[in-house]
Structure 1
Amino acid sequence: MTKMSYFPICLSFHVSILLMTIVTVSADIMTDINLSWGGDRAKMSGGLLQLSLDRASGSGFESNNMYLFGKIDMQIKVVPGNSAGTVTAYYLHSGGDQYHDEIDFEFLGNVSGEPYILHTNLYTQGKGNREQQFYLWFDPRNAFHTYSILWNPRQILFYVDGTPIRAFMNREGSGIPYPKNQPMRLYSSLWNADDWATRGGLVKTDWTQAPFVASYRGFNADACVWSAGKSSCSPTKGSWWDQGLDSNGAQKLAWVKKNYMIYDYCRDAKRFPQGFPPECSLSS
């Protein structure tokens, strides 16, 4: 697919940002989400959305709107019980393949009693390979928890129940690409990945446990909506637009990294024998 090029007016930071109106976007899972594939395996009712996976197919949804910067929240309860082989993906994606931008949460299922792995990744202009993985300090199968992506001109922050788990700074001044030119749509899917997801594919999906079901509610998008080829918004000072980590947030991020991070591409010397990516040498 060809590259999708976007040049929204809200990216002319020095001049046109002063001319924009304040736009607050509310979102509702029943009206602002489209069940995009999987037939009747994807269902919505009474503010609850459920995706299911059986041997025939998985399912997925997408947001009706595309966003260029914002804070996206979703409450998710992942597949309970023996979920080995399944992946519940929740992510922003710009469309296209070769030069796409993407911000990923992926929940890698496991056998009963073993912890889920929360897999995160970032793509800028088609370049990914920025994986970080975590265990969580709770069992995400037992209840709904809020998973948030904050994306502004300064940085991208991943949150779990309001606790930051990952930060990716805008380091364009150091020659590191940052996603800022392509609006992205929110997607989620539940699919079978037993060729790699659980212990590198050693544990296969137990189809006697199907259908596997992931549940969603509480969708919120406080974001700049892309429409008719442009984005026009300037959130209020102190909102997500210029939000970063204060000292308390930085301490929480350090706590997560110390106690729950199980993989960091910036520490995988075997994977990068010629040297780590340049952002790895810069503090978050």
Structure 2
Amino acid sequence: MNDQVFNTLSKTTISLSLLLLLQAVSGSAAASPPRIISFQKGFTQLFGGDTNLLRSDDDNTVHLHLNQYTGAGFKSSNMYNHGLFSARIKLPSEYTAGIVVAFYTSNGDVFEKTHDELDFEFLGNIKGKPWRFQTNLYGNGSTHRGREERYTLWFDPSKAYHRYTILWTSSKIIFYIDAVPIREILRSPEMGSDFPSKPMALYATIWDASSWATNGGKYKVNYKYAPFVTEMTDLVLHGCISNPIQDLSTNTCMEIDQQLETIRYNNITRKQKSATKRFREKYMYYSYCYDTLRYPIPPPECVIDPLLRQRLKENGRPDFGRRHHRHSRKGSQVLSSKLYDIEDED
């Protein structure tokens, strides 16, 4: 099998996640399926001011700018107890060393010492080199037990929009790129309280991470190429809006949880299973499960693949000593009834 599988799946009009979710909600009036959310309806600005966070006239697209003074970021107006979080994203082009674009969920503002987090982090690159990114999760403040995986992409993410999705339920977490599920974490007794369990908000940021983002900090941000711009459009927030203090369950929350739980990995098509396996074998270049310097005994939830262990042990160990997406602080309505999809129009 070659990379044609990925390209074919990237052009899929409706994602697997949505198809399965629609099957789950058919005949259910209590909880609506995922919909695209306008910025005014679902989000608030974190930092960046009027010059570094720009919204389109239809309020469906956000441009985040990084210059020598500041980056930019926004977050969802509400927190969610499990959910489907998604956006079509186009990353900055040309020379982008030292830049981090993050699309993630977190509750660190509410639970400073016991926060949960799920990350897509795109690590800037030198022109002509493949983009690298990582996924990660933290649960209950377990920052000393990061569960990072790092990969390269099979396409240029600065040329066209691609959909990135985080699915979080009470039993599993799946990271998707377009229709490809690139990583799945199943809740297990071995993980204990490390599995994210408290309501989280969705965040998106662009910021200067020169000290570590590209080749361990060897290549810094070069502001000769500024501003660096990432575009995010067709944002989706689908979950139970929750008050993290009261943490009250409602019938609607139970309906949504049931919807999300029906998206089972074992229902993924054979082609998608093959794409997942191919992606991890070819494009994953680091996994915490195989980092014997960091974890002489692999964390208990890890299932070791002998072939991956042999390959990954030769690839070195990225520097995870610094916390990610810590940014510099210098300085009304759903758009339509259209269901979100992952159609790649470019």
Range of TM-score over shorter length: 0.7 to 0.9
In structure 2, distance between residues paired with 1:202 and 1:175: 35
Provide the alpha-carbon RMSD of the alignment.
Answer: 2.2
Match of 1:48 among 53, 58, 61: 61
Pairing 1:33–2:43 present: yes
In structure 1, distance between residues paired with 2:165 and 2:79: 16
Task: Give the superposition deviation at 1:22.
Answer: 3.0
Structure 1 or 2: more helix by fraction:
2
Aligned to 1:209: 225
Kindly indicate whether the alpha-carbon contact (under 8 Å) linking 1:72 and 1:150 is maintained by their aligned counterparts in 2.
Answer: yes
Task: Give the superposition deviation at 1:234.
Answer: 2.8
Pairing 1:23–2:45 present: no
SS state at 1:119 partner: strand
Task: Give the superposition deviation at 1:207.
Answer: 0.7
Task: Give the superposition deviation at 1:279.
Answer: 1.0
Pairing 1:270–2:308 present: no
Match of 2:239 among 219, 223, 226: 223
Kindly indicate whether the alpha-carbon contact (under 8 Å) linking 2:239 and 2:256 is maintained by their aligned counterparts in 1.
Answer: no
Kindly indicate whether the alpha-carbon contact (under 8 Å) linking 2:116 and 2:197 is maintained by their aligned counterparts in 1.
Answer: no
Amino acid at match of 1:64: S
Task: Give the superposition deviation at 1:80.
Answer: 1.1
Q: What do residues 51-89 of structure 1 show as CA deviations (whole Å, max 9, x unaligned)?
A: 110111111000111111111111110111111110001
Bigger Cα displacement from structure 2, 222-231 vs 50-59: 222-231
Task: Give the superposition deviation at 1:280.
Answer: 1.1
TM-score by length of 2: 0.71
Task: Give the superposition deviation at 1:229.
Answer: 4.3
Match runs of 1:35-114 below 5 Å:
35-40=45-50, 41-45=52-56, 46=58, 47-95=60-108, 96-114=111-129
Aligned to 2:325: none
Structure 1 or 2: more strand by fraction:
1
TM-score by length of 1: 0.86
In structure 1, distance between residues paired with 2:257 and 2:191: 28
In structure 2, distance between residues paired with 1:134 and 1:162: 17
In structure 2, distance between residues paired with 1:260 and 1:239: 31
Aligned pairs, how many?
Answer: 262
Task: Give the superposition deviation at 1:271.
Answer: 1.7
Amino acid at match of 2:300: P
Cα–Cα, structure 1 residues 231 and 210, in superposed 2: closer, same or farther, change >3 Å?
farther
Match runs of 1:157-236 below 5 Å:
157-172=174-189, 174-227=190-243, 229-232=247-250, 233-235=253-255
Match of 2:275 among 252, 260, 277: 252
Amino acid at match of 2:241: V
Kindly indicate whether the alpha-carbon contact (under 8 Å) linking 1:183 and 1:226 is maintained by their aligned counterparts in 2.
Answer: yes
Unpaired segments of 5 or more residues in structure 2? Answer: 1-28, 306-346
SS state at 2:193 partner: coil
Cα–Cα, structure 1 residues 89 and 276, in superposed 2: closer, same or farther, change >3 Å?
same
- Give 4+ residue runs of structure 1 displaced > 3 Å after superposition: 178-181, 235-239
Unpaired segments of 5 or more residues in structure 1? Answer: 1-20
Bigger Cα displacement from structure 2, 237-246 vs 200-209: 237-246
Bigger Cα displacement from structure 2, 251-260 vs 210-219: 251-260
Q: What do residues 155-205 of structure 1 show as CA deviations (whole Å, max 9, x unaligned)?
A: 000000021111111003x35335453100000110000110000000111
Amino acid at match of 1:43: L
Match runs of 1:113-128 below 5 Å:
113-127=128-142, 128=145
In structure 2, distance between residues paired with 1:120 and 1:33: 23
Q: What do residues 221-271 of structure 1 show as CA deviations (whole Å, max 9, x unaligned)?
A: 221111464343233798322322125344332121111111111111122
SS state at 1:280 partner: coil
Task: Give the superposition deviation at 1:34.
Answer: 1.1
Q: What do residues 20-53 of structure 1 show as CA deviations (whole Å, max 9, x unaligned)?
A: x933364513221112211121111222101110
Kindly indicate whether the alpha-carbon contact (under 8 Å) linking 1:153 and 1:242 is maintained by their aligned counterparts in 2.
Answer: no
In structure 2, distance between residues paired with 1:143 and 1:276: 38
